[in-house]
Copies of this chain bind each other. A is one copy, B any other.
Amino acid sequence: MTVFDIVFQPEGKVVPAAAGLSILDVASWAGLHINASCAGAGVCGRCRVEVVSGSVRCETGPGAYFSEEEYGRGMRLACVCHVEGPAEIFIPPESRADASVFAKAEGHEEVTVAEPNPPVRELELALAPPTETDNLGDSDRLLAGLAATHGLEHAELALEALLELPDALRADDFAVRATVYQPVGEPAPPVRVMSVRPARDRRPAYALAVDIGTTSVWARLVNQVTGGYTPSMGDLNGQISFGEDVISRIVFADKGDGLARLQKRVLESLNHLLDRLLTEYEVDRDRIILAVVAGNTTMSHLFAGLSPKNIRLAPYVPAAAGWPTLRAAEVGLQVPTSTRLLIYPSVSSYVGGDIVAGVLASGMYMRPELTLFIDIGTNGEIVVGNQDWMTCAACSAGPAFEGGGVKFGMRAAPGAVDQFYFDPVARRHGLTVIGEPWAKPIGICGSGLISIVSELFLSGVLDPQGKFVPEAAPDFIRDGEDGREYLLKPQAETGLDRDLTITEIDVENLIRAKGAMYSGYQTLLESVGLTMNDLERVIIAGGFGKSLNLTNAMAIGLLPELPVEKFTYIGNSSLTGATLVTLSGGLWQKAQKIKDGLTNFELSETPGYMDYYMASQFLPHTQSDLFPRTMDRRKKKLVKLH
């Protein structure tokens, strides 16, 4: 395998990458997000990058996405360009989900990257040194200065700030920088001075933005002066060895010292991420003045050491939906004790702070278009609404999207089948496997499962009930130990000790999962008298969305069938939401308002949901008029066949 250095600009990040990988994948591995609504299918045209130097192997010409001039100066789609030597790639702002959120928010009063207005700020003060006639105490002098210079009346000092104040004042002739926290509230509560240092210490302050997922944790550093931020870094959530989904974590937390162990694990993961960020970006730990954390309700509880047990007991009540402002160190983050911690508020037990952060990052709360926001996972969360109203719900999709409940299911890791293609004329198939070229498959990840079921359904190998049609693929369909199954690869071509197959039970599980999502969209829309056709925008967030093929997802009825241009993938919007709040106290207030404004539906208690759910247990749906194009594609494929 030949490896070349790819340099991403403007970060200047150097990433060693194997020949043949797509630039989109290389950037993604390096934690540099590039928009790709079509998940790398080469159709959405949103992953525009500029090849500044070196060369890449590009599958397409200028075509629909570039003018001759743009193509001439190196503009390409990252998803169809592949590494063939060292290269320098510039990712323009419009191709970054995060950057585009900032750009979208620019018209908004609070967010400008150029002039951040963070909830924790550093203020410079040149105080008059005391004299015989002006011998105010140090703390009174500082507070008087804050009032006079910055209009901050009634400020109060934290003990840490007070303890370091006398020496800080005298180190630089009474010129200091004060780190000041402005709590949210009406009327605005007094600000709190968290720390003080001599003004000559000009190292900028940083915030830590964190997304805590059930599977993985992500974080980045945000420069509080310039508003610039580092790429995100991710790692597995160390809790994963105590259970894969939130329910198993809640059960574990309730036994013995389970809660403490889970809290310790996620903090180990986060502190390790923080160490890596500090080292890589050469930031001093004592310059972290704020941490903003977004996570689902259970993750937020476990992070704070708060028992989540009532989340899984009817009537499903979290201990905390809104969170008080805490000190990051009191929870266990390895930062100064003066560092504030803001935890994103949850709407309910199953619509958490990650979704509130995502809604903030998506901008849907301030736009007129009727929007569907989806985060697909074991618990798929959905939000429907616009600037005037918003409803939300959690769908118990089950673990199929993450490979759970599927015979050969696995996460999207090396060895997983992630794409599948069936040729109905030749009655044969091809598939791609994550990892090295020629890697042998060992399982099927969520997107692979969707790809397989979609292809087999469109090709007539699966019927609308999700049953195999043996005559459509007689070489592959057979009866196995778990009932009827489809042979993907014989044992010799796998990394397994047996054949790799997909069973009817697997298909059934996927249908249950996608149906839970789809009937959720329908229920929320119906609650306000609307239908799928009224949707003007669909926003897909979260890790799973990255590898989701829109066409496949529509074909199985996971996504509503709408024009592709209505879909946007916004990546880890939970982390983006956390990032935004580090830069704007106003957006933190907005987050509280989004939380308060989201009307939560408990789908299992909502009349009509069960009917929608039952109707969704088909491919793509009982009501085939909801999926006219899919039905049309299937008909055409079958016509071609016969």
Contacts and interface: CB of A to CB of B under 8 A. Distances in A.
Interface of A: 130-141, 143, 154, 156-159, 162-163, 165-167, 170, 183, 185-187, 189-190, 304-307, 309-310, 314-326, 330-331, 346, 348-349, 602, 605
B132 A185 contact: no
Given A166-B309, A310-B166, A139 B319 contact: yes
B159 A319 contact: no
Contact of A156 (B134, B141, B305, B324): B324
A139 to B, nearest CB: 4
Contact of A315 (B130, B321, B602): B130
- Identical chains in the assembly: 2
A304 B140 CA distance: 17
A323 B190 CA distance: 15
A153 to B, nearest CB: 9
Contact of A317 (B137, B305, B306, B317): B137
Contacts of A187: 187
B605 A138 contact: no
Contacts of A170: 310
10 contacts: A131-B315, A137-B348, A137-B349, A138-B318, A139-B320, A156-B324, A157-B324, A166-B306, A170-B310, A189-B190
Given A324-B158, A326-B159, A135 B165 contact: no
Nearest to A325: B156
A136 B317 contact: yes
Nearest to A166: B319
A159 B348 contact: no
B137 A320 contact: yes
Contact of A322 (B139, B167, B319, B348): B139
A347 to B, nearest CB: 9
A588 to B, nearest CB: 14
Contacts of A133: 605
Contacts of A319: 137-139, 162, 165-166
Contacts of A183: 156, 190
Nearest to A131: B315
Contact of A159 (B185, B309, B330): B330
Contacts of A321: 136-137, 139-140
A154 B304 contact: no
B135 A349 contact: yes
A299 to B, nearest CB: 15
A382 to B, nearest CB: 18
A326 B139 CA distance: 14
Contacts of A348: 135, 137
A509 to B, nearest CB: 28
Contacts of A314: 132
A162 B306 contact: yes
Given A187-B187, A190-B185, A310-B166, A322 B140 contact: yes
A303 B392 CA distance: 52
B315 A159 contact: no
A86 B314 CA distance: 66
In the A-B complex, list the 6 residue pairs whose CB atoms are closest, starting with the nearest. A137-B321, A137-B318, A135-B315, A166-B319, A139-B320, A189-B189
A321 B165 CA distance: 13
Nearest to A596: B140
B159 A317 contact: no
A156 to B, nearest CB: 5
A343 to B, nearest CB: 10
A135 B316 contact: yes
A305 B314 CA distance: 49
Given A154-B186, A190-B189, A325-B156, A320 B132 contact: no
B317 A138 contact: yes
B162 A304 contact: yes
A254 to B, nearest CB: 11
A389 to B, nearest CB: 19
Contacts of A141: 317
Given A135-B349, A166-B307, A167-B307, 7 more contacts: A137-B321, A139-B322, A139-B323, A141-B317, A158-B324, A159-B304, A183-B190
A21 to B, nearest CB: 45
Given A185-B190, A602-B135, A130 B306 contact: no
A187 B321 CA distance: 27
Given A132-B605, A163-B305, A304-B162, A138 B190 contact: no
A99 to B, nearest CB: 34
Given A166-B307, A190-B189, A315-B130, A320 B138 contact: yes
A322 B146 CA distance: 15
A319 B131 CA distance: 15
Contacts of A137: 317-322, 346, 348-349
A528 B450 CA distance: 89
Contacts of A190: 183, 185, 189
Nearest to A341: B159
A320 B162 contact: yes
A187 B189 CA distance: 8
A132 B602 contact: yes
A187 B137 CA distance: 24
A325 B156 CA distance: 8
A221 to B, nearest CB: 24
Contacts of A185: 154, 190
A336 to B, nearest CB: 14
Nearest to A605: B132
Contacts of A139: 319-324
A190 to B, nearest CB: 6
Contacts of A306: 162-163, 166
A324 to B, nearest CB: 5
Nearest to A193: B324
Nearest to A133: B605
A135 B297 CA distance: 14
A602 B156 CA distance: 27
